[in-house]
Amino acid sequence: VGLRPQTYATLFGLYAATGMRCNEPLRLDRGDTDLVDGVLTVRDTKFGKSRYVPLHPSTQHALKIYAASRDRSCPNPLSSSFFLSERGTRLTEWAVRWTFVKLSREVGLRGSKDSHGPRLHDLRHRLAVTTLLRWYRNGIDVERHLPELATYLGHAHITDTYWYLTATPELLQQALLRAEQSQPESRP
């Protein structure tokens, strides 16, 4: 079958599991992926910073399977990139976005001629929103933990992360409920 299906299945899974920006996994070299301890080193990100991205054990396992398959399929790659094309070169952002749109059409997430539909960035957005919703539902102090999410996502300013609090009606409702619960009852 070739390396391409495994590359894209693993890459899109990594986007969903980590909320990384579109170009971040594409810039990972083999030395940036510690699959023993389950940590990715993302270098020189959007804001010129570097950060560590810890991996869930299931994501770590999927990356190990991909790496073994990649090394069998492409024993002499032309690139040190973790994710490879079938030619052994680094994937381009254009190719990844094109493949995402094509697959979105094939699985029915967008019509065959639709120019709008799910975007890779939506996987990042979804991770942030579901994390915040889970925190609210579990009674976790979101204000206290928001800097952790900001660091994990690689935001330069916490205000970039606050944006997610207004991103969905459900999050707004959860934030409102929390604010109402923290207000002292007014007495006539």
Report pLDDT digits (tens) over 37-63: 999 999 988 778 899 999 999 999 999
- Residue 109, helix vs strand vs coil: coil
- The mean per-residue pLDDT over the stretch 127-144 comes to 90
How are beta strands 33-34 and 51-54 bridged, if at all?
unpaired
pLDDT of residue 143: 86
pLDDT of residue 163: 75
Closest of 78, 73, 60, 71 to residue 14, by C-alpha: 60
- The mean per-residue pLDDT over the stretch 19-28 comes to 95
Instruction: Report percent pLDDT > 70 for the chain.
Output: 95
> What does the mean pLDDT of the chain come to?
90
- The mean per-residue pLDDT over the stretch 106-133 comes to 88
**24 band by pLDDT with thresholds 50, 70 and 90:** very high
pLDDT at 184 over 80: no
pLDDT of residue 186: 55
Query: 108: burial class by Cβ within 10 Å (0-12, 13-18, 19+)?
Result: exposed
Cβ pair 55, 38 in contact under 8 A: yes
Q: Between vectors from CA 58 to CA 41 and to CA 47, what angle results, nearest 5°?
A: 25
pLDDT at 141 over 60: yes
pLDDT of residue 145: 92
Catalytic sites, residue numbers: 21, 46, 121, 124, 155, 164
Instruction: Report percent pLDDT > 90 for the chain.
Output: 59
- The mean per-residue pLDDT over the stretch 110-139 comes to 88
Superfamily of segment(s) 4-106: Intergrase catalytic core (1.10.443.10)
Q: Name the amino acid, one letter, at 51.
A: R
Instruction: Please state the pTM of the whole predicted model.
Output: 0.84
